[in-house]
Chain A
């Protein structure tokens, strides 16, 4: 048996929509058909839809109608865009870059603000924040990175205006507290014998001074290192 091309095509097309469903409950919704036609469904969903539509006569009719309607819609969109372009004057004919310049400017401004905040918070953060940084306004005089003898060990620092009292703290090399003075009014202190005897020669120690103000404010010096000779 031989069939000619016309009959072959007619029979192929007759294959489409051959089944007449008894109910439309299983049919895909018109919305899903529109999604398929506007390439807004997954490949898997698309295959399922096409399998159903190509068999169901009612769906094939609706799909055919939607296909043609969307074809007409594309022409309508083109016509209306051309018409708007010719009737709405210079406003609508402004170049793309000008039309969107405000939007672009806002976007750039937002980028700069966010960038500045990140820079401020992350990059420009003081490395000395742990013990001192912004409040480090008490300058230490001695011992500062020095080797001193046990007998001559004296802590001295610059006076600060308006201070109520000072407190001196000493730490070992792991920054564990070793000693803390009582509140002091002077800007020097000879450590008690008990502390001086307890310090191990050739080991690093650190000290700092906290200045307390009547309003409750507190300034701290940076940490300074010292070592005992003997």
Chain B
């Protein structure tokens, strides 16, 4: 049975919500400046999904179809963006040199940040992996799903990793104020 007009409007509303969140993510990570147009990304996904749903062939597994469409579109757009970046390699190097000359101005923070970096790198592999993903703004559930761990194990590894860092910083004379 094909969806009627009212249900297809519902589908459009669902896709529009998805479009808004994709657009927001692109802007948040500054990918628009790297040549990724949110509209291009969304329209490609939208057309493929609508075409499949309204085609004569019944959609047997919507989840896997949507996954493959979204993943391939995201991968393609990041690849194109990288290819475009390589064209302007000279400008990129100039920007990096400028940024480099402005670095290391805030001395204390730089020292602490380096100490944290070394402490993270000295963690045991599982804690390091979990903590780095957590610092990349992934949720505990996402990390657990991605690494095939349980959420409890993931949460424990993150907390223990943070504790280890605090202990290592303390040894280097950087205390941690836990009052909050």
Q: A residues touching B (Cβ–Cβ < 8 Å)?
A: 1-6, 8, 11-16, 18, 20, 22-24, 27, 29-31, 34, 36-39, 43, 46-47, 50-51, 53-54, 60-73, 75-77, 79-81, 83-84, 86-89, 91
Contact = CB atoms under 8 A, between A and B. Distances in A.
B142 to A, nearest CB: 7
18 contacts: A12-B116, A12-B135, A13-B135, A24-B82, A24-B85, A30-B79, A30-B82, A38-B146, A50-B129, A64-B136, A65-B31, A70-B70, A72-B21, A76-B14, A77-B62, A79-B18, A83-B11, A89-B1
Interface secondary structure of A, over-half rule: helix
A75 B70 CA distance: 12
A81 B53 CA distance: 11
A31 B77 CA distance: 11
Contacts of B177: 2-5
B132 A54 contact: yes
Tell which of A16, A50, A51 has the most Cβ of chain B within 10 Å. A50
B63 to A, nearest CB: 5
- The 9 A-B pairs with the shortest beta carbon distances in the complex, nearest first, are A30-B78, A72-B21, A68-B25, A87-B7, A2-B175, A54-B132, A76-B18, A65-B29, A79-B14
A51 B132 contact: yes
Interface secondary structure of B, over-half rule: helix
Interface of B: 1, 3-4, 7, 10-11, 14-15, 17-18, 21-22, 24-26, 28-31, 49, 53, 58-59, 62-63, 66-67, 70-71, 74-75, 78-79, 82, 85-86, 89, 92-93, 96, 99, 108-109, 112-113, 116-117, 120, 125, 128-129, 132-133, 135-138, 142, 145-148, 162, 165-166, 169, 173-178, 180
Contact of A20 (B28, B96, B136): B96
Contacts of B93: 22
B136 A18 contact: no
Contacts of B79: 29-30
Contacts of A39: 145-148
B174 A1 contact: yes
Contact of A34 (B62, B75, B175): B75
B31 A61 contact: yes
A70 B22 CA distance: 9
B128 to A, nearest CB: 8
A60 B136 contact: yes
A30 to B, nearest CB: 4
A6 to B, nearest CB: 8
A61 B147 CA distance: 20
Contacts of A34: 71, 74-75
A53 B116 contact: no
Contacts of A84: 53, 59, 62
Given A36-B146, A37-B146, A77-B63, A62 B112 contact: no
Contact of A67 (B58, B66, B82, B142): B142
Contacts of B25: 64-65, 68-69, 72
A80 B145 contact: no
Contacts of B29: 61-62, 64-65, 68
